Amino acid sequence: MVNSIGINYGQIANNLPSPEDVVPLVKSIGATKVKLYDADPRVLKAFANSGVEFIVGLGNDYLSKVQDPSKAQAWVKSNVQQYLPATKITCIFVGNEVLTFNDTSLSDNLLPAMQSVHTALVDLGLDKQVTVTTAHSLGILETSYPPSAGAFRRDLTSCLTPILNFHAKTGSPFLINAYPFFAYKANPKQVALDFVLFQQNQGIVDPSTNLHYDNMLFAQIDAVYSALTSLGFKKLSVHISETGWPSRGDEDEVGASPENAKKYNGNLIKLMTQKKGTPMRPSCDLNIYVFALFNENMKSGPTSERNYGLFKPDGTPAYSLGITTNVGATNSSSSGVTPSSSGTMPSPTSPSSSTGYLSISSAAATVSPFGLSYLLFFFFNFFSFIIF
């Protein structure tokens, strides 16, 4: 079992360091994988021969275009093939959170675009080393409590099933963006902060399986596993393509603080190095991509949107993660981690010209049902405690 720490490298900012200066920062947190929201050539060149694996993105505005086989192949040649094998590009994610837009013009184009890009990889002899997937919001779930009852939205099942068949056929991972922050923000009086921050807590028990959960993210992941199993896709690999916690927020963004961000991301990375799976899948690898590498000053929306970064634009830590690692980098002392005396390291986006990616707060509209599920979950456990 090899859990992999990944990081989302977004670039909706005008003050970020050069990609060459980013390489040691990525290594300083023990990350072995990077997710881009496009295929920025500056980044892909900078990370050549670094050993870091990449997921590159093909934005929602490309979905209709790449259905043309010639355009799909041209994109793969110029954005993937030319950087191999020096830069380890292992996956292309086509579209971001498409299904929760409730836009049929986008959702109808999603699978054909994925298939077209995969065909291009096959034709170029790259399909054995590069997979094709897409990233989903947790809002595709209709039921998440208890985790064993996780189920996809019924109105999305007819669209999701052929996509899941594609994953099963090609061996590509199922990507989901999960943010316990939103569940806490929606119900801070009912949802225990320690439960969402991976701190010591009483936890909750799934009444159907008797499995114990001491953090919300693992409960969310297992709800996704249950949803996949209910449709007959038990063996699909689930990767958490985005999760994180803001270090600043507006007055109504409860919980957004450096202290909570440090606990969430620091504890998550520590947990990853312990090589543990979720309660439902204890022996399955965890592949989690923290959001995000930098605070991004040009993102719209509430203050939190611009403050999910582990690092400030000048390369100094936004807060100390409190993890121990040794990266052999000249500037590791400024990366927010502590060099290890043992000399060991934990196992393990888009440029200004890009159209960018979804703001995280756009997930808020889809989080309410999930937050309600866990609100009911805590009420259930609370009253059970009182009665028994």
141, 224 Cβ separation under 8 angstroms: yes
Rounded Cα distance, 357 and 97, in Å: 9
4, 343 Cβ separation under 8 angstroms: no
H or E stretch at 28: helix 19-28
Taking CA atoms, 36 is separated from 41, 70, 94, 242, 308, in Å, by: 11, 23, 12, 11, 16
The active-site residue, picked from 20, 53, 142, 242, is 242
Q: Is 107 left (phi over 0), alpha (psi -120 to 50) or beta?
A: alpha
The active-site residue, picked from 97, 253, 296, 305, is 97
Burial class (CB in 10 A: 0-12, 13-18, 19+), 14: exposed
246, 181 Cβ separation under 8 angstroms: yes
Tokens of 67: 């259905």
Catalytic site includes residue 97: yes
Catalytic site includes residue 242: yes
Count of CB atoms situated within 10 Å of the CB of 312? 18
3-class DSSP state of 226: helix
3-class DSSP state of 288: strand
Count of CB atoms situated within 10 Å of the CB of 94? 27
Active site amino acids: 97, 242
